[in-house]
Amino acid sequence: MSIHTHGYAAQSAQSALAPFDFIRRDYRNNDVVIEILYCGVCHSDLHQARNDWGGSIYPMVPGHEIIGRITDVGSEVTNFKKGELVGVGCMVDSCQTCNPCKKGLEQYCEQGATFTYNGYDRHDKMPTYGGYSDKIVCSDKFVVKVPENLDVKGTAPLLCAGITTWSPLRHWNIKKNSNVAVVGLGGLGHMALKFAKAMEANVALFSRSAGKVQDAYRLGADKVIISTDEKQMAASAGEFDLIIDTVPYAHDLNPYLPTLSLDGTHVLVGLLGALEQVGTVPLIMGRKSIAGSVIGGIKETQEMLDFCGEHGIVSDVEMINIQYINEAYERMLKSDVKYRFVIDMASLKA
């Protein structure tokens, strides 16, 4: 039995998102069926819908920051039950057998993870469709439990913006009194500030202008460094154990590298593409690194959600109806949102 589904889709790179009815596969023995309540709007949704990165599959139903309740479970599912509040992030499957998968790092699956949308199911080869829809079917291994004490509307972006910044903080062992800086105050950057502060690190924001200072302090920054001010940058030389760089376009890393401490790392979580020319002297003279990181595994995603439940952390969101999605995309291009749009999927029925 197939599952009739209603959502919004892009039919081409040039078309606006519009209502789209489609069929999801019937659930397998290890699957759960989820009624989607809320779906975050990620900048990558826009990139994929408009084929900015190439390889987009149409029709496309975007959305990989999904919160909902389970309506059905397969016969072999033991860790979830009907009615539970759960989330689905950027992946819905992986090979489960390669070394990264065995380590709980499914995002680095050597055969390639199956993404929540703009992919193909590894079993029946059907296209995957995302969370701009009323329901989704997913392997229980790629579903996470959502703490009921959290504001559900602000929880959806944790499944991408949250885990994308949580994973490097954990990997580089950020703890009390670590020195962390964040580049870029948007959907990713505001989560990095909240997480680092909750970890009791000393937290700074690099900003090109003073306009974001007040918000940065509200979100957890202990100080704001104006990156265009040479004196402020020089005063921060050798300070940071980790810089989380959330900027999604090519930019100059050279001003930031001298602010890394010995063995410090500048990790890129926003940029997909070529770097501008990087001077190696600060790297060589301080054993510093430039690294990359992408989302996180299912185990660490659950760890992040549990941490959020303990500390009351959610994203700052602006709620929208699905009918507003094309306008939301245009506003995202202008960085006109604080700090994540979230779709109330009940609006699909309007």
pLDDT tens digit string along 82-137? 999 999 999 999 999 999 999 999 999 999 999 999 999 999 999 999 999 999 99
Local confidence band at 210 (pLDDT 50, 70, 90 cut-offs): confident
Range in 107-111, 139-143, 247-251, 329-333 the model is least confident about: 247-251
Q: What is the DSSP pairing of strand 85-88 with strand 240-245?
A: unpaired
Average pLDDT, the chain: 96
Residue 220 has pLDDT above 80, yes or no: yes
Residue 307 has pLDDT above 70, yes or no: yes
Domain at 161-292, CATH from 2.60.40.1120, 3.40.50.300, 3.40.50.720, 3.40.50.450:
3.40.50.720
For the chain, count helices (H), then strands (E).
Answer: 10, 17
Q: What is the CATH number of domain 3-160+316-349?
A: 3.90.180.10
Residue 298 has pLDDT above 80, yes or no: yes
Q: What is the DSSP pairing of strand 66-73 with strand 31-41?
A: antiparallel
pLDDT above 70 covers a percentage of the chain that reads 100
Residue 1 has pLDDT above 70, yes or no: no
Domain ranges of the chain: 3-160+316-349, 161-292
Cα dihedral 162, 167, 172, 173 sign: positive
**94: nearest Cα among 77, 76, 112:** 112
User: 99: which 2 tokens?
Assistant: 């070394």
pLDDT, average across residues 174-179: 98
Local confidence band at 78 (pLDDT 50, 70, 90 cut-offs): very high
Residues in the chain, overall count: 350
User: 9: which 2 tokens?
Assistant: 């889709």
Name the CA radius of gyration of the chain, rounded.
20
Pair 309, 149: CB distance under 8 Å:
yes
pLDDT above 90 covers a percentage of the chain that reads 93
